[in-house]
Amino acid sequence: MPSGTESRRVTIHDVARAAGVSRQTVSRALNDKGEIDDSTKQRVLDAALALGYRPSRFARGLVRQDTVSVGLVIPDLLNPFFTEVAAAALEAARARGWHVLVYDTADSAPEELGTLQVIASQVDAVVGYFSRPEGEIEQLTRGLPVVLIDREDDAERFSSIRIDGRDGVKAAMSHLVEAGHRRIGMLDHATRAEPSVRHAWFADALAACGLAAGPVCRADQSVEGGESALESLLADHPDVTAVFTFNDIIAIGALHGARRIARRVPQDLAVIGFDGVRLGTLVEPQLSTVALDIRGLGALAVEQAARLLTGSGPLGPDDLVARAELRLRGTT
């Protein structure tokens, strides 16, 4: 067996010895402090380079207590909505000089728990999407600042960015009704057993228009999910002329489904999504949607994390809201 290759870490001490100086001098040279002779500095730098020395981030972090890292937890980075949230959070964090550790929990509870477990010892705060009960999260994060996003059950122990699409959805439904639609269905998510909050907005909005809530079909949060959900919705309820969906991905799936069963959009079927992802402008016809300010959402989450971190007046529930507004495009 090969031996003697046992490469111990090169420490500041090794560099000091190699350069014939003290560790402090090495530190000075490497950190561009003044108070050091140019020639010694060069000698130290050379030695460091020769030895392949790199300071330990832990040792440095220990004494310099600066650097902030936050964990960003996302259910599925490939879902364009979450991609945009992540990009927004990354941007907001960068503006603060923070580092962001990203975790994709693949929409799975075990992965979520595993992430939570390991994250707690790696970051100064956590921002993101969690499906587990608050108590469980609390236990694993132990006093770590946590900012939840779009928690459907009211968050009590944690800050949570709430998404308020009530008015947006109402505007959307009003628009459809004014356009003559009387039978409006919904493609809800299938992540949890209960209907989503968005479904409640949908039902309330229709009631306000004097219509009964239309039929609902549950869809996987993917294009395929939306596609097949639309087909079965229309198979069961051929009289439906407009569909509101839990999110834009499902809506885009619905567009595909409509094409498959030869329903023209928007002539035979109107479609309105939710979220306002860029992708909605890339399909043809462009997707009408109840749009969120996604960048604002990400920035808000990071800001709250910052406030929690410094203890400087965290925002209250009333400020932790992302509102949505109707954006009419080609599918209505």
| Nearest approach, Cβ of residue 102 and a second copy (Å) | 5
* DSSP output for 123-157: -SEEEE---S-HHHHHHHHTT--EEEES-SSPPSS
Instruction: Enumerate residues 40-59 that contact a second copy by CB under 8 A.
Output: 49, 52-59
Half-sphere exposure of 297 (CA within 13 A, CB side): 27
Rule CB under 7 A: say whether 131 interacts with DNA: no
Cα-Cα end-to-end distance for the chain: 71
| Nearest approach, Cβ of residue 9 and DNA (Å) | 4
Rule CB under 8 A: say whether 315 interacts with a second copy: no
- Specify the residue, 66 or 318, whose C-beta has the smaller distance to a second copy: 66
Among 1, 7, 62, 97, binds DNA (CB under 7 A): 62
| Nearest approach, Cβ of residue 59 and a second copy (Å) | 6
Instruction: Enumerate residues 5-24 that contact a second copy by CB under 8 A.
Output: 5, 7, 9
Answer for the pair 264, 246: CB distance below 8 angstroms, yes or no.
no
Whole-angstrom distance, CA of residue 129 vs CA of residue 27: 41
SS3 25: helix
| Nearest approach, Cβ of residue 115 and a second copy (Å) | 9
* Token digits of residue 107: 């929409």
Sequence-ordered alpha helix ranges (H) in 36-187:
38-51, 57-64, 80-95, 109-119, 134-141, 166-178
Rule CB under 8 A: say whether 232 interacts with a second copy: no
- Specify the residue, 5 or 39, whose C-beta has the smaller distance to a second copy: 5
Interface stretch with DNA, choices 49-57, 104-112, 302-310, 323-331 (CB under 7 A): 49-57
Rule CB under 8 A: say whether 110 interacts with a second copy: no
Rule CB under 7 A: say whether 35 interacts with DNA: yes
Whole-angstrom distance, CA of residue 75 vs CA of residue 81: 11
- Specify the residue, 20 or 238, whose C-beta has the smaller distance to DNA: 20
Whole-angstrom distance, CA of residue 126 vs CA of residue 140: 12
Instruction: Enumerate residues 113-172 that contact a second copy by CB under 8 A.
Output: 118, 120-123, 142-144
Kindly list the distances between the CA atom of residue 73 and the CA atoms of 28, 114, 209, in Å, as whole numbers in the listed order: 38, 12, 38
From the list a second copy, DNA, none, partner contacted by residue 34 (C-beta under 5 to 8 A by kind): DNA
Answer for the pair 239, 183: CB distance below 8 angstroms, yes or no.
yes
| Nearest approach, Cβ of residue 20 and DNA (Å) | 7
Interface stretch with DNA, choices 6-14, 74-82, 110-118, 198-206 (CB under 7 A): 6-14
Whole-angstrom distance, CA of residue 69 vs CA of residue 125: 7
Q: Which residue has the tokens 């309330």?
A: 204
Among 6, 32, 52, 63, binds DNA (CB under 7 A): 63
Say which DSSP state 35 is in.
Answer: S
Kindly list the distances between the CA atom of residue 275 and the CA atoms of 65, 70, 205, 322, 332, in Å, as whole numbers in the listed order: 39, 25, 18, 11, 16
Instruction: Enumerate residues 242-261 that contact a second copy by CB under 8 A.
Output: 252, 256, 259
Rule CB under 8 A: say whether 67 interacts with a second copy: yes
Among 7, 9, 52, 316, binds DNA (CB under 7 A): 9
CA nearest 10: which of 56, 42, 78?
56
The torsion angles phi and psi of 127, rounded to 5 degrees, stand at -130, 135
* Interacting residues with a second copy (CB under 8 A): 5, 7, 9, 49, 52-62, 65, 67, 69, 77-78, 80, 83-84, 86-87, 90-91, 94, 97, 99-104, 118, 120-123, 142-144, 223, 252, 256, 259, 278-279, 282-284, 311
* Interacting residues with DNA (CB under 7 A): 9, 11-13, 20-28, 30-31, 34-37, 40-41, 53-56, 58-60, 62-65
